[in-house]
Structure 1
Amino acid sequence: MRTKLSILLLFCLVVLAIPFTANAQVIHKVNAGDSLTKISKQYGISIDDIAKLNGLTVNSHLVLGQALLIPTDNYVVQPMDSIWKIARHHAISEETLMNKNNITSSQIIPGQKLVIPRLPKAPLWIGSYLIPKDKEKNNWMLDNYKNTLSGVFVFEYRPDANGNIILVEENEAHLLAWRKQLVPYATLTNITEKGFDPDLTHEILNNASIRKKLISNIYALLDSHDYKGIVVDFESIKNEDRDSLNLFAKELAAKLHPVGMELMMAVPPKEGDRIPDYSAAYDYETLGKYVDRLFLMTYNWHWPGGPSGPIAPINKIRDTLDYAVSVVPRSKLMLGIPQYAYDWTINGEDKDAKSYSIQHAIKLYTKTESEIHFDEKAATPWFRYVDEQGDPHEVWFEDSRSLLAKMRLIHEYELAGMGCWHLGITMPQTEELILAEFNILK
């Protein structure tokens, strides 16, 4: 999560409704002339329920291409729909859709109802990063999301160059988590005033005495705070430190495992052992031998400092999973899911993108009446708008279509876990889809 610092500064807590119990999976793409009233009548679902589930108000103006999650199994065919398009946006095959509805022809007509089949729920361990607030807000977040989580990763502790750990004011987040049957983990990063700092990790990992001291301090932190384990999120590590990182994981696991403590590591996406070359320090196969879970940071293919584009394109995620399952047991793999949007200024000037919650992106495209486009190759939505200064912007984000497609990869690859960055910024559709797709392990 190389952009966590900017995200941390820009994200705000978004108050969300408690997820529905219907666990819907019908996705309706807004067409010309659509309104919440019209859609409500089409599906026989109240305006309040549709609005609440999609993070809208009952008076919200809908925009072309917007994806709405509808709490029903019956999809109403829209003008310009096709079997391919409906199947694609529900992450199923055309054959599956046709068989479920006992139809042999791909010819469909507007107003026709099609049952959208559901997959059997799979057991899944789900964790999410938690940026501690005050005790009251910590309690609210954990309460609101507890039904869709197995554990939380308290963000974040940091080592100094001597192997000491800089503590975070977590305001009893770990205690509150235990009380709500959520397993708390401490997150350890290599963030300094420079951002993710490869020089800091180089110094720690290659000095045996400092490395040993840090491991001892990690153990002491977990023991004193009653954490179940540690999530090591060392990013931008130098390729020359590959063997040292492997050794650190081996030694840390040897310290934690005998007493039942767990080790997780967050790693960047890769398509091969040294593909891309700048991530060669992360040896999936060797790290996979020592960790309890490997958190795949399958996002940020486009980031604030680069050109605009999809944050987590489905085709690139597939490439990562194809490699990961070939060298790491599926029982240890966690798919990382982004829960944020990037907003690029695209007027040719050298400007970083802004990061904010998906819910903010929804409010923005509603306010600016921006049409939502969907990149079929990346399975990701995006839109453009012009700000008050006249500058054009391009925003890439996630919606129910892109999230469902990612969750279906968990079924397909038989992964054991999923993780999100971070609590408090998800949209209601995320929790609804999780409950529809998985049985959450506790």
Structure 2
Amino acid sequence: MNRSICTGVLLCISLFLFGGHMKAEVIHITQKGDSLYKIGDRYNVTADQLAKLNGMPGERKLVQGQSILIPGQSYMVQPGDSLYKIAKRHQIPIDELMELNGLHSSLILTGDTLQIPQKEKTNVKVGAYFIPKDQGYNDEMMSALGRYLTTIYLFSYNPNQDGTLSSLPLNNSVAEAWRKGISPFATLTNLSGSGFDPELAHDLMANENKRKKLIENLYMVLDRHDYKGVVIDFEGLRPEDRSLFSSFIKQVGERLHPHNMEVHIAVPPMSGSRSPSYAAAYDYKTLGRYADSLFLMTYNWHWLGGASGPIAPIQEIKKTLDFATSVVPREKLMLGIPMYAYDWVVSKEGVKGKAYSVQHAISKYIQHESSIHYDEQSEAPWFRYKDEAGRTHEVWFEDPRSLLAKFELVRGYRLGGMGAWQLDFSIRQSETLLRSEFNVLK
């Protein structure tokens, strides 16, 4: 995945396997003075239930503008609400909202109770990247979250200049994945000491002997460790290596497919065949023909080295999906959904920002009692705080509103599924929403 994410941000998408078509939660946006006890009284649920549903820490503090999931289908109208806002927040058509509640006009009043329409669950594949550690950790993660996954991508095998591969301390993770009903995949990157290395990838793909050796070594690793297949995560490739990369993927498939092994590819977001030009090496149409799945890295439009802003703006994701679905079978596409935050220092130039998990972002805005803002155009939340040195930080992250908007893209574009980076930073709200929206395929 993207190097800045790879250095410290771990992302997870997970699913609960519940059947039926009931929508189990509504999204409440906290007001000034709200507490779990006050919210619970309004919705006739306990503070303990709300805390568990939302994975809240022991202090259970709330800040203004925070997204809280409430069990059930009943939603209480808050100050500043409108039918449009409520429908958009829950990703439902406004006419369905009006029909279910017997409304003949858009007039609603604070304190009114509305029923949120149910959605029929759809089936999706779900993948997550995983960095294996000791066996106790691996077994714990598989037991806690692995049941929600179709595939798991063990990160990572890195090639040397001669086509040999680095080792990866698996510590029972592949065997445990199979026991949990998850298909384990090896991740092959072009990482070197300098990060994702386009020159290393070029040399390995362009040199016939090295290319054959790399592919054979890859097959041997997959066969020896009983992997289902490989995810090829070659990032930052030179635009002029477009044909070379497609040819490489074709040859990998020719070696693996006869042995019932799959080839997945992580690709950057694109809105056209060669747009943006710096990503022209990734020929979606050709890659989609040779590979079993394309993992769309639909995030990082704003990064730590640039200006602050939404990491995965919905309008940009749609451009990628419009193009991808025009050239690749929909069932082969996996939407990458970020579960990480970027923290920029916006009051002083030259200060490096940080990347961390959404759960850490939640702890950060509670610690600083920051108000949460929501950018409606990009479907992304953000907040600001001051550090000990008095510098102003701006943090963009994901919450139930932004996640649900992305989940609706998976449904609306009829994609094969979604994926995440990586397994051990799951947050309860994402699990709760996914349980309501989808059934995971095994």
* Structure 1, 281-290 or 115-124: larger mean CA deviation: 115-124
Q: Tell me the CA shift for residue 93 of structure 1.
A: 2.1
1:178-197 correspondence to structure 2 within 5 Å: 178-197=178-197
Distance (whole Å) between structure 2 residues aligned to residue 357 and residue 205 of structure 1? 35
User: What CA distance in whole angstroms lies between the structure 2 residues aligned with 1:117 and 1:170?
Assistant: 45
| Distance of aligned partners of 1:359 and 1:31 in 2 relative to their CA distance in 1, 3 Å threshold | same
Partner residue in 2 for 1:203? 203
Residues 311-330 of structure 1 mapped to structure 2, 5 A cutoff: 311-330=311-330
CA shift in 2, pair 1:51/1:140, >3 Å? same
Shift of 1:11: 4.5
**Aligned-pair distance for 1:307?**
1.0
Report the CA distance between 1:375 and its aligned residue.
Answer: 0.4
Residue pairs, 1:178-327, within 5 angstroms = 178-327=178-327
1:235/1:18 CA distance change after superposition, 3 Å: closer
| Match of residue 72 from structure 2 | 72
Q: Is the 8 A contact 2:269 2:298 kept in 1?
A: yes
Q: Report the AA paired with residue 8 of structure 2.
A: L
**How much does 1:96 deviate?**
2.1
Number of the residue aligned with 1:146 = 146
Aligned alpha-carbon RMSD (Å): 1.9
Contact 1:253/1:262 (<8 A) preserved: yes
1:30-49 matches, within 5 Å, as 30-49=30-49
Single out whichever of 59-68 and 280-289 deviates more from structure 2.
59-68
Instruction: Flag the 1:305–1:374 CA change in 2: closer, same or farther, 3 A.
Output: same
TM-score by length of 2: 0.96
Compute the displacement of 1:108 (Å): 0.7
How far has the Cα of 1:134 moved from its partner? 1.1
Q: Do the aligned partners of 1:148 and 1:435 also contact (CA within 8 Å) in 2?
A: no
2:123 maps to 1:123: yes
Q: Using the alignment, how far apart are the partners of 2:367 and 2:268 within structure 1?
A: 35
The secondary structure found in structure 1 opposite 2:337 is strand
CA deviation after TM superposition for structure 1 residue 97, in Å: 1.4
Residue 157 of structure 2 contacts residue 165 of structure 2 at CA under 8 Å; is this kept in 1?
A: yes
1:190–1:198 contact (8 Å) kept in structure 2:
yes
**For residues 43-83 of structure 1, what are the alpha-carbon distances to aligned partners after superposition, in whole Å with 9 as ceiling and x for unaligned?**
11111111122221354221111001112111111111100
Relative to 1, partners in 2 of residues 1:154 and 1:12: Cα closer, same or farther, differing over 3 Å?
closer
Conserved? CA contact 2:299–2:312, under 8 Å: yes
CA–CA separation in structure 2 for the residues paired with 1:19 and 1:345: 37
Equivalents in 2 of 1:158, 1:31: separation in Å?
49
Describe the shift of the 1:385–1:40 C-alpha distance in structure 2 as closer, same or farther (beyond 3 A).
same
Cα distance in 2 for partners of 1:377, 1:110 equals: 25
Distance in 2, Cα, partners of 1:231 & 1:57: 35
Instruction: Give structure 1 regions of 4+ aligned residues with deviation exceeding 6 angstroms.
Output: 16-23
One-letter identity of the residue aligned with 2:432: E
Name the residue aligned to 1:370: 370
Counterpart CA distance in 1 for 2:344 and 2:336 is: 23
Decide whether the 8 Å contact of 1:157 with 1:166 is kept in 2: yes
Q: Where in structure 1 are there 5+ consecutive unaligned residues? A: none
1:116 partner amino acid: I
State the TM-score, normalizing by the size of structure 1.
0.96
Q: Match of 1:264, SS?
A: strand
Structure 1 window deviating more from structure 2 (299-308 vs 141-150): it is: 141-150
- CA deviation vs aligned residue, 1:79-117 (integer Å, no higher than 9, x gap): 111001111111122112112222121111112111112
User: Is the CA contact (8 Å cut-off) linking 1:17 and 1:52 kept in structure 2?
Assistant: no
Output the CA distance in 2 between the equivalents of 1:10 and 1:268: 19
Shift of 1:348: 3.0
Letter in 2 for 1:215: I
Q: Is the 8 A contact 2:23 2:73 kept in 1?
A: no
The range that moved more, 342-351 or 282-291, is 342-351
Taking the aligned partners of 1:104 and 1:258, their CA distance within structure 2 comes to 60
Structure 2 Cα separation of the partners of residues 42 and 147 of structure 1? 34
Residue equivalent to 2:8: 10
Report if aligned partners of 2:156, 2:187 keep a CA contact under 8 Å in 1.
yes
SS in 2 for 1:175: helix
In 1, Cα distance between equivalents of 2:148 and 2:181 = 12
| Contact kept? 1:148, 1:434, Cα under 8 Å | no
Contact 1:20 1:53 in 2 (8 A): no
Higher relative contact order (CA 8 A, sep 6+): 2
* 3-state DSSP of counterpart to 2:423: coil
Secondary structure of 2:48's partner? helix
Structure 2: state its 5+ residue gaps: none
| 1:340-351 matched pairs, under 5 angstroms | 340-351=340-351
What is the identity, as a one-letter code, of the residue corresponding to 2:27?
A: I
**Bigger shift: 420-429 or 20-29?**
20-29
Contact 1:60 1:366 in 2 (8 A): no
Aligned to 1:51: 51
Partner of 1:92, secondary structure, is: coil
Contact kept, 8 Å, 1:29 with 1:67, in 2: the verdict is yes
Q: Does the aligned pair in 1 maintain the 2:14–2:430 contact within 8 Å?
A: no
- CA–CA separation in structure 2 for the residues paired with 1:41 and 1:404: 25
Query: How far off its partner does 1:18 sit?
Result: 10
For the residues of structure 2 that align with 1:171 and 1:418, how far apart are their CA atoms?
A: 27
Provide, for residues 232-285 of structure 1, a one-character-per-residue CA deviation record: whole Å limited to 9, x for no partner. Answer: 000000011100000001111111111100000000000001111000000000
Separation in 2, partners of 1:303, 1:135: 34
**Correspondence for 2:159:** 159
Amino acid in structure 1 at the alignment position of 2:194: K
Matched with 1:427 is: 427
